[in-house]
Structure 1
C-alpha cells in the first residue's frame, strides 16, 4: 500500500495542513497550534488559560504556585469538617452540596493544568496533593489520636475518579 499517497506525499508522512479558499479565489493555509501529548520540561506551556503563563519565568513560577495551592485546597476540602452537630439536615445537605461542587471544580482545574503535559506543573500538582493530604487527611495532625474508627472525619465522602 502506498502510504505517501495517503499522507500527502512529499511531507515525510505528515498530512498537509487544511486549506480554504480566500476571497480572491487563491488558497490559504490555516495554522493549527500543536499540543504536547507527552511530558516535557520547560517554561513555554499553556496552563489553564490561553497564553498563560507565557514566556516569563515569573509567570511560570506563579502558575506552579497556583496549581500547588489548588491541589492543597482540594485536599483541605476533602478533609474538612465544617458542619456542626445538630445542624438542620436541609442546611447541612446544601452546605455539603456546595462544598462538593467546589471541590470537584477545583480538582478538574488541577487535572486540566496537568493536561498541559508540563512536568513542572505535574510535580506541583503532585506536591500539593501530597502536602495537603499529609496536613489535612493523615493522622499526623488529628486532634484526637485515640478516636473511634466510626467517627466521621470529613463532611464529604472520599473523591473517586
Structure 2
C-alpha cells in the first residue's frame, strides 16, 4: 500500500496518519505500540495495565491467575447471600448496592482483560466464570427440598 492510500485509510477511520518512519524521531517510534485486534496466542501481551505483564512468562501466568480469580469472584458475588433475613431494609439495601458495585467493577475488569485479545486470557476468564457458576449458581451442591424432607424422616 502506498503512502497516499495509507494516509487515506487512516483518515477514513478518524485517525491521523502515522508519522513517516524516515522523519519520525526515535522518541516517537519508541512510544508506538501495537494493539491486537484479533485473537492471538502468546505470553507477550498487555493486560489491564501498560506493559503488564510484560515479556516474562511468570508474570503472564500471574496475570492469568488474577483474571481467573476475578471471574470467579464475579460469580460468587452474583450468587452469594450475605444479607440476613432479620436485617433492616436500609442496611440490606446498602449492602446489596455495595455488592452490586463491586461485582460490576470486577466484571468490567474481566471484560477489559479479555479485550487484550489474548486467547489465554479469554480461556481463563471463561474458566473462572464456569467454575464459579458451577460452585455457587448451579444446583449441583444444593439439596432439594424433597431430599431434605425425606432425610429428616
Q: Same fold (TM over 0.5)?
A: yes
Give RMSD over aligned pairs: 2.1
Map residues 55-134 of structure 1 onto 2, 5 A cutoff.
Answer: 55-134=55-134
Map residues 12-31 of structure 1 onto 2, 5 A cutoff.
Answer: 17-18=18-19, 28-29=24-25, 30-31=28-29
Task: Give the helix-richer structure, 1 or 2.
Answer: 2
Runs (4+) of structure 1 exceeding 4 A deviation are none
Structure 1: 5+ residue runs without aligned partners? 10-14, 20-26, 148-161
Note the alpha carbon deviations across 1:71-125, whole angstroms, 9 max, x for none. Answer: 0000000000000002100110000000000000000000000000000000000
Normalising by structure 1, report the TM-score: 0.75
**SS of the residue aligned with 1:113?**
helix
Structure 2 vs 1, CA of residues 95 and 18 (structure 1 numbering), >3 Å: closer, same or farther? same
Count of residues paired in the alignment: 132
Q: Which residue of 1 aligns with 2:36?
A: 36
Normalising by structure 2, report the TM-score: 0.79
Structure 2: 5+ residue runs without aligned partners? 9-15, 147-153
